[in-house]
Chains A and B, each alone.
Chain A
Amino acid sequence: MRALLRVAALLVAALPVVGCGVQPTEPIGGSPATGAVLYLVRDDTAVPVLRATGRPPTGAQALALLAGGPNAEEQAEGLSSRVPRTDVPITLDGTTITVPADVAALPDLAVTQIVCTSASPGPVTLTGGGHRRGPLTCPL
């Protein structure tokens, strides 16, 4: 009898631990976020644009996509790119971005697009066509 009562008391004591209603939680992580952020041009300003990729975002991947220019959907929304379309991708190596074009001849907007798209935490240097520009940071 006494043992029975003790068990009951224990259960009653355990009640608040479980709690009633909806309880707050710690942050819960799920799958890795995917996609890429490219900087395209609208009204002569670089704006961030999301591109679904199905892969976690990296600067190098975003730069490669940037070299491909805006896709049909983005074009339909009136977005353009000042970065020259090339089949050779723009590559990122540490803080150096290699552009398959003369960086000295690139318009400032294109440079901003590239620098911002690389999403580097620090300043980056652009090289290409035998020239260097930088170090530069995303002005946005």
Chain B
Amino acid sequence: MKSLRTRLLIAFVVLCGVTAAVVAGVTYVRARTVLLEKAQVAAVEAFTEKVARMTELNADLLSDRFSAAVILHRGRAVQGGLDPSAVSPELRARVASGEVSWQRVVVGGRAGLVMGMRVSDVEFYSARTMDDEQRDIRELALVAWLAAGCSMVVAVLLALLAARSVLRPVRELREAARRLGEGDLTTRVAVRGSDELAGVAATFNTTAEALERQVADARRFVADVSHELRTPLAAMTAVTDVLDEEAEHLPGDAGTAARLVAQETRNLTRLVDDLMEISRFDSGAAALAPDEVDVAAAATATLRLRGWSDVVTDLHPVTAVVDPRRLDVVVANLVANALRHGGPPVTLTVRGERGQVVVEVADRGPGLDPEVLPHVFDRFYKADSSRARSEGSGLGLAIAWENAVLHGGSLVAANRPGGGAVFTLRLPSGGGR
């Protein structure tokens, strides 16, 4: 498939080529005909005039520097330097009919005009060169080619210009569509003029606007639902905490059920908390509360608080300006994910690196499937689709990623060469944006 630019170029050049060929060609042919006919008529007139002025037969009167003549009396050449075989039999037949006749001939690339007439039993023939006319016609052809060539160059320039004016909005639209596809719903394109491309741009903007509104509505709905769930959940948690404490005193199935309800309520609470957290990110309400933090100490605190004692740590003291609450969330989510899905031992590394603080969480599990890798930070993404439910909310890694981005840092998932997954968090140590 050829590009739009190539197609425009071809169309322009062909169109211009055809036009130039027709115009230049017709002009050339017409001018050539006129030129030759004028020269022929003049030559024939001069020839008949010379014959009319002759009394005694004298071929010299018909010849000059550019022409040679022969006079035939009863078919025999009697005078003149022109070889009678230079006169074609067709021309002789024509002359025999009584008309003053002429024929253009080309011998060895040189054009000439052979004229003849017959009076009674005397035939006169004169041949003259058409070198001048030939040269003029060659010049004519040269001019025609030049004109055609110049118009071709102009056509190419015009085509490139036209292609640019068409392709620029197309390129902008493509770029905008790509950004929209990557999730930047605020993308709009400039609408220029009122042509079809401007119409497409306007439609694109309308669509993007509608999409943005719908997504915002959906997010607000989630935020509202989460918020509405919090109050009843708080009450439920209070009740299930009591139930949980009393579970061991309850007989058989009732105890199991109480524990189950308590556990599920805790899970639900975490899910709602995570949903609200992510809603804040989506609505842009998430704000940093930066503070100077010893990241190694903060990480140790996170592990201690969660009771994760079997995590291998390699902590170098690094100070960075980060939001301590969010750092805690990120580290906790990454370690929880490693403990849940990876294999032991889980390693937590903190180190400084040229203006960045690097937090690595690695495990020795099976690692991440290459197909899973690009979706690891997607919301509610299940690496193992057969496992319908996991202990996590399904939002942990997404929240960790959002937090990293909020800090102006990055969070990358990869597989370790020796097996197992590694999540690398990089935050600017000088504070976020």
Instruction: Please tell me if A105 contacts chain B, counting CB pairs below 8 Å.
Output: no
CA distance A29 to B205 in the complex (A): 77
Say which one of B97-105, B300-308, B414-422 lies at the interface with A: B97-105
Say which one of A15-23, A87-95, A125-133 lies at the interface with B: A15-23
CA distance A124 to B359 in the complex (A): 134
Instruction: Please tell me if B138 contacts chain A, counting CB pairs below 8 Å.
Output: yes
Interface of chain A residues 24 through 82 with chain B (CB within 8 A): 24-37, 42, 47-52, 56-57, 59, 62, 73-74, 77, 79
Instruction: Please tell me if B137 contacts chain A, counting CB pairs below 8 Å.
Output: yes
Instruction: Please tell me if B130 contacts chain A, counting CB pairs below 8 Å.
Output: yes
Q: How far does the Cβ of B145 sit from chain A's closest Cβ, in whole Å?
A: 10
A37:B120 contact, CB within 8 angstroms: yes
A11:B121 contact, CB within 8 angstroms: no
Query: Which residues of the partner chain B approach A15 to less than 8 Å between Cβ atoms?
Result: 21, 25
Interface of chain B residues 290 through 333 with chain A (CB within 8 A): none
CA distance A51 to B133 in the complex (A): 33
Instruction: Please tell me if B191 contacts chain A, counting CB pairs below 8 Å.
Output: no
Instruction: Please tell me if A114 contacts chain B, counting CB pairs below 8 Å.
Output: no
- Known contacts A4-B11, A18-B29, A50-B55: A25-B98 contact under CB 8 Å: no
CA distance A35 to B98 in the complex (A): 11
- From B7, which residue of chain A is reached at the shortest CB distance? A1
- From A6, which residue of chain B is reached at the shortest CB distance? B14
Query: Which residues of the partner chain B approach A33 to less than 8 Å between Cβ atoms?
Result: 48, 51, 95, 98-100, 117-119
Size band of the interface chain A makes with B: 35 or more
Query: Which residues of the partner chain B approach A119 to less than 8 Å between Cβ atoms?
Result: 120-121
A47:B56 contact, CB within 8 angstroms: yes
Contact of B94 among A23, A27, A50 (CB under 8 A): A27
B88:A27 contact, CB within 8 angstroms: yes
Contact of A74 among B7, B55, B73, B98 (CB under 8 A): B55
A29:B94 contact, CB within 8 angstroms: yes
CA distance A57 to B117 in the complex (A): 11
- Known contacts A1-B10, A33-B99: A50-B119 contact under CB 8 Å: yes
A29:B104 contact, CB within 8 angstroms: no
Query: Among the interface residues A18, A37, A50, A62, which one has the most CB atoms of the partner chain B within 10 A?
Result: A50
Query: Which residues of the partner chain B approach A27 to less than 8 Å between Cβ atoms?
Result: 88, 90-91, 93-94, 101-103
Query: Which residues of the partner chain A approach B73 to less than 8 Å between Cβ atoms?
Result: 48, 140
B99:A21 contact, CB within 8 angstroms: no
Query: Which residues of the partner chain B approach A25 to less than 8 Å between Cβ atoms?
Result: 103-104
- Residue-wise, chain A 99-140 has the 8 Å CB interface mask toward B (1 for contact) of 000000000000000000001000000000000000000101
CA distance A21 to B31 in the complex (A): 12
Interface size, chain B (Cβ < 8 Å): 54
Instruction: Please tell me if B74 contacts chain A, counting CB pairs below 8 Å.
Output: yes
Interface of chain B residues 78 through 108 with chain A (CB within 8 A): 88, 90-91, 93-95, 97-106
A30:B51 contact, CB within 8 angstroms: no
Q: Chain A interface secondary structure, helix, strand, loop or mixed?
A: mixed
B101:A23 contact, CB within 8 angstroms: no
CA distance A140 to B76 in the complex (A): 11
Instruction: Please tell me if B255 contacts chain A, counting CB pairs below 8 Å.
Output: no
Instruction: Please tell me if B122 contacts chain A, counting CB pairs below 8 Å.
Output: yes
Q: How far does the Cβ of B26 sit from chain A's closest Cβ, in whole Å?
A: 9
- Known contacts A11-B22, A24-B106, A49-B55: A31-B100 contact under CB 8 Å: yes
Instruction: Please tell me if B57 contacts chain A, counting CB pairs below 8 Å.
Output: yes
Query: Which residues of the partner chain B approach A5 to less than 8 Å between Cβ atoms?
Result: 10, 14
A35:B99 contact, CB within 8 angstroms: no
Instruction: Please tell me if B52 contacts chain A, counting CB pairs below 8 Å.
Output: yes
Instruction: Please tell me if B54 contacts chain A, counting CB pairs below 8 Å.
Output: yes
B56:A79 contact, CB within 8 angstroms: yes
A5-B10, A27-B103 known; 14 other A-B pairs, CB under 8 Å? A7-B14, A8-B18, A22-B104, A22-B134, A28-B40, A28-B94, A29-B99, A33-B95, A33-B98, A33-B118, A35-B52, A48-B73, A49-B55, A56-B98
19 contacts between A and B (CB under 8 A): A8-B17, A11-B25, A21-B138, A21-B141, A24-B106, A27-B91, A27-B93, A30-B44, A33-B95, A33-B98, A35-B119, A48-B56, A48-B57, A48-B121, A50-B54, A50-B55, A50-B56, A52-B52, A57-B120
Question: B residues near A, CB below 8 A?
Answer: 7, 10-11, 14-15, 17-18, 21-22, 25, 29, 32, 36, 40, 44, 48, 51-57, 73-74, 88, 90-91, 93-95, 97-106, 111, 117-122, 130, 133-134, 137-138, 141
Question: A residues near B, CB below 8 A?
Answer: 1, 4-5, 7-8, 11-12, 15, 18, 20-37, 42, 47-52, 56-57, 59, 62, 73-74, 77, 79, 119, 138, 140
